[in-house]
Structure 1
Amino acid sequence: MARKISQVGINLIKQFEGCQLKAYKCPAEVWTIGIGHTGTVDGKPVAAGMTITMQKAEQLLADSLEKRYEPAVRKLGDLNQNQYDALVSFCYNLGPGIFKGRLLTAIKDKDWCNVADQLLLYNKAAGKVLAGLTRRREAEARLFLKPVAVQEDVELKRAAQLLYKRKIISVLGAWESIDNMKLEYVPGLLKNMGGIDRLVKDKIISDKLLWEYKQYNASHVRALIIKYSKLG
């Protein structure tokens, strides 16, 4: 299951973007409307004189996050919820192409403190440091480094225990928590479940290539374990 931005991340975006129902030019001289929306509205470019409703502003935010900005952050690899939310806010402000250079290297290396430091550098518009952007980058960096409260995943734990009893898995602790999941064990798990082809046939998984090419993450494996545990 792909990670989605939480309400914490959405609130962060709204806090700094604000909402204007009449088109305006942002500090970078780009026509903008609603909650920081640029581009088009119902096929028409945002331009002077355009107005929208609050409902439309919320819809534009949700649609653009789902279709443009969240996919760019998902490509970065396995992030916790706070890291993901912070980077989606960052990406929404600066565009999907922003993940490059030293920032991208730090993310790939999982050098989290360096990632937060890199975020702070993006506080300029038209070459000038803006106080609003500085505050936003500081808020995103704080959220990025904020530990995620660990909550027991009751559904996953119950499913893992069932598979342990059925001898599908042998190391229970490797599967009871998404944060402790051992992805290097997944090929063995798939084998014990009957193999990828069998799982496709039983409609436990639908994207065969995802598993064959090891493009899965912990969320995918969580869903697999839970769904398989419900087999008779």
Structure 2
Amino acid sequence: MKLTTISAAAVFVLGSFAPAVNGYAIKGDVVNCRSGPGTSYGVKKTYNKGANVSISCQTPGTSVNGNNIWDKTSDGCYVADYYVSTGTNGYVASKCSTGGGSSGGGSSSSYCKTVNQAGINLITEFEGFVARPSPDPIGLPTVGYGHLCQTKGCSEVKYKFPLTKTTAKQLLNSDLPKYTKCLADYLNNKPSLNDNQWAALTSWVFNVGCGNAKTSSLVKRLNNGENPNTVASQELPKWRLAGGKVLPGLVRRRAAEVKLFTTASSKKAYPKCQ
């Protein structure tokens, strides 16, 4: 399969674009192509080393070995640019019109980028503090309060190991905007969420990953305009499996998220942060 790139100078005629002319080879052995620009998104397909792919557009995402560009291929999924032989660590195609993977219609940039203290407390309690990179209950390398390592030895983390609880919280605060952005990208403007509801959902997305959240019935029901408290109370407890097994820690976490979600607050967080 020979695929090609669409340059920024592509000519649009009646809503279509001119065909591309250049193909780029995959340089990793088996490279995942995901539903969005980050390692937390679900895998849609894989490319073997040497396969040629087209790049319809590029967008920022999870940094992989210092390169945060993700390439959207003609297959409609995203692959880390680090694994594509474009000849540069910069952009070779036009930027995607959205941050990638948006399904809810998108929101304005006025949503809360982080979460309230109740949300921070919930996440740190259930993630637990890990000073050095080590496998979590299902074998994924994590450090701090649930930071999923993107590189060998978590080299992308700017803080020295062993982390302190202070630097671990700083790392968590720098991670959270990625997950609030996922929520904002996937939700339309029908849900109106207060800061406790927003914090509970962010904890959930932080735990299950953006890709799983995107395709969830929880997000679909919120976008359909159903009562948020009812949706959260019914849907969050379903997310109790890891590695195919029910984990008591996840059961407790989901219960805590429901409790926080249903705690009244007058402070709005989505679609507009107050």
Query: What is the TM-score when the length of structure 2 is the normalising length?
Result: 0.50
Change (3 A) 1:43 1:13: closer
- The C-alpha deviation readout for 1:172-221, integer Å capped at 9, x for no partner, is xxxxxx79xxxxxxxxxxxxxxxxxxxxxxxxxxxxxxxxxxxx9555xx
Q: Percent identity?
A: 33
Q: What residue number does 1:109 align with?
A: 224
The equivalent of 1:53 in structure 2 is 164
Map 1:83-122 onto structure 2 (within 5 A).
83-99=197-213, 100-111=215-226, 112=228, 113-122=230-239
Corresponding residue for residue 148 of structure 2: 38
After superposition, the Cα gap between the structure-2 partners of 1:22 and 1:43, relative to the gap in structure 1 and judged at 3 Å, is closer
Pairwise CA distance, 1:7: 0.5
Distance 1:218 1:62 in 2: 20
Q: What is the aligned-residue RMSD (CA, Å)?
A: 2.7
- Structure 1 residue 141 and structure 2 residue 253: aligned? no
Amino acid at match of 1:64: D
Question: Per-residue deviation at 1:146?
Answer: 2.0
Count of residues paired in the alignment: 153
The CA deviation at 1:65 is 0.5
Structure 1 letter corresponding to 2:246: V
**Contact 1:106/1:115 (8 A) holds in 2:** no
Matches within 5 A, 1:211-230: 217-219=271-273
How far apart are residue 45 of structure 1 and its match? 6.3
Change (3 A) 1:12 1:110: farther
> Which residue identity lines up with residue 2 of structure 1 in the other structure?
Y
Paired amino acid for 2:233: A
Q: In structure 1, which of residues 2, 5, 11 is the aligned counterpart of residue 121 of structure 2?
A: 11
The equivalent of 2:37 in structure 1 is none
Per-residue deviation, 1:40: 3.8
Alpha-carbon deviations, 1:53-94, whole Å to 9, x = none? 33331221011112x111112232432111101001111111
C-alpha distance in 2 between matches for 1:11 and 1:81: 14
In structure 1, what is the Cα distance between the partners aligned to 2:143 and 2:259? 27
Q: Give the AA of the match of 1:89.
A: S
Cα deviation code 1:25-57 (max 9, x no counterpart): 1112101111111124797268xxx63333331
Q: Could you say which structure has the larger radius of gyration?
A: 1
Residue 97 of structure 1 aligns to a residue in which SS? helix
Question: Aligned letter for 1:131?
Answer: P
Q: 1:15 offset after TM fit, Å? A: 1.0
Q: Which runs of 4+ in 1 moved over 3 A?
A: 40-43, 216-219
Amino acid across the alignment from 2:203: S
- Runs of 5+ unmatched residues, structure 1: 152-177, 180-215, 223-232
SS of match in other structure, 2:148: coil
**Structure holding more strand per residue:** 2
